[in-house]
């Protein structure tokens, strides 16, 4: 999928003190062929942001 394709789907991943599960969910979503935007809401610490640095602009 080209990075410039507009997302047709937005997914919100919500977690609390579950960085491994959040990364697993986001990784699975990024493997999809459909254009999508991923928003991560984590209220259990900042380590998830560091783990998702390679997700690019599709993940906020």
pLDDT (average), residues 18-30: 88
Q: 50 lies in which domain range?
A: 9-58
Are residues 30 and 2 in contact, defined by beta-carbon separation less than 8 angstroms?
A: no
> Is 1 part of any domain?
no
The tens digit of pLDDT for each residue in 31-59 reads 988 888 888 888 876 677 677 766 666 66
> Is 4 part of any domain?
no
pLDDT at 47: 74
Question: How many residues are recorded in the chain?
Answer: 60
Are residues 59 and 52 in contact, defined by beta-carbon separation less than 8 angstroms?
A: yes
User: Considering its fold, how many domains does the chain have in total?
Assistant: 1
50's CB contacts (< 8 A; 6+ apart) are none
Residue 15: CB atoms within 10 Å: 19
> Is 3 part of any domain?
no
Q: What is the pTM of this model?
A: 0.71
């Amino acid at each position: 999928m080209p990075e410039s394709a507009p997302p047709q789907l937005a997914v919100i991943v919500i977690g609390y003190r579950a960085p491994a599960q959040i990364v697993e969910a986001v990784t699975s979503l990024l493997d999809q062929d459909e254009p999508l935007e991923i928003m991560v809401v984590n209220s259990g610490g900042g380590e998830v942001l560091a783990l998702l640095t390679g997700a690019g602009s599709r993940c906020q």
